[in-house]
Structure 1
Amino acid sequence: MTRQTGLPAELAQAPLRTVRARDVTVYKHVRPQLARLTQAGLLHRLANGYFTVVPQDRVGAEWMPTLEAAAAGVAAADFGARGFALMGISAARVHHALPRAVGVALVAAPRRRGPVHMTDRNAVVRFLIRDVAAMEVELTETEMGRCLITTPEQTLLDLAHRPDRDALDEDVEAAMRALAARCDAALLAEIAANQRLGRALDRVRRAGLAT
């Protein structure tokens, strides 16, 4: 057991402190025990079947992680701590390029995965199949733990690459402007060439965000 009374190490040591109920082996009757720990304030239910450990200094208080951290926790439970990357609008949020919270999180994943609808808020986590190893990513700290997110340059190109943008046009435009201010033009061109994102780079240039 951990210092959080009644919390097994299997839960506390899970990637980004998040588990899927179906993966928990420490209990014979898993769901009633997870419900008990949630009621006790030791776990927080993110979505159907997904639970995350509440930070020790927040036990007994109202706590809910940011959507981006929660999405990372869900993805870590599915793909492992380094098997995914926050991308698009979610990476922009972690880069502080967009101050306003949005109701969609975007994750680069190694295989097909349907959207996860959060149960602790009105939000959804969407997954796009990507070769994470081929993307420009960096390891960043979130309130759930460390995870991969796309770099500012990769994030800017990814935002420009997706014209649908989940109906978040104004937010995306603001994020692109903020990201462009910290991007290296040569690196943008290199990433675009390596990942066949030439059209995205053209959109960035036409918007006056890069040379």
Structure 2
Amino acid sequence: MTALPPDDPSCLDTLLRWRRDVRHFRPDPLPPETLDALLASACLAPSVGLSEPWRFCQVTSAARRRAIRDEFERCNAIATAGRGVDRNDYARLKLAGLDQAPHHVAVFSERDPAQGRGLGRMTMPETTVWSTMMAIHTFWLAATARGVGVGWVSILDPARVAACLDAPLAWEFVAYLCVGRPLERADTPELERRGWERRRPETARWHVI
């Protein structure tokens, strides 16, 4: 993965093609200003009622990182033993970059922020979480443009993660992101390369009603 050429006329399409869920990282940390710039870009995302409900928490404590790693192992063991999963196929997947990634970012969404004064979420309160998802995607694209990899660790129990990180009760856990320079650039998703799943034709997801 390399930085995006600034004069690429199709830069958005290029970003979307390059964006990957990265699990193999170089251990050297990013310059502080780079991570700050990514977080600032994330905050440019749209949000319901301009509520900006996202809360990005940089996890730097070794003890907290170990707690998250232990929680991942616990949840992963349950998933491996679960029905409907080919254990051999599942076991050979590397599902997290928790050990190598130099930066860990936990993302929460404030359930009912005062900002925005409730606009647009009376009948659909989940739009605050959707707004936070937009911020995560914006963060991911901004990282890709700078040659930075992001890996989403989803095999975690939200309540346990919130407790590990002492998150306020008003915050809902959404994502745990591993961030750093990727070991290599890939043009296809790792799960596709390993034969777990493959992309479907784009038009298979389009419907006219």
TM above 0.5: no
TM-score, normalisation: structure 2:
0.24
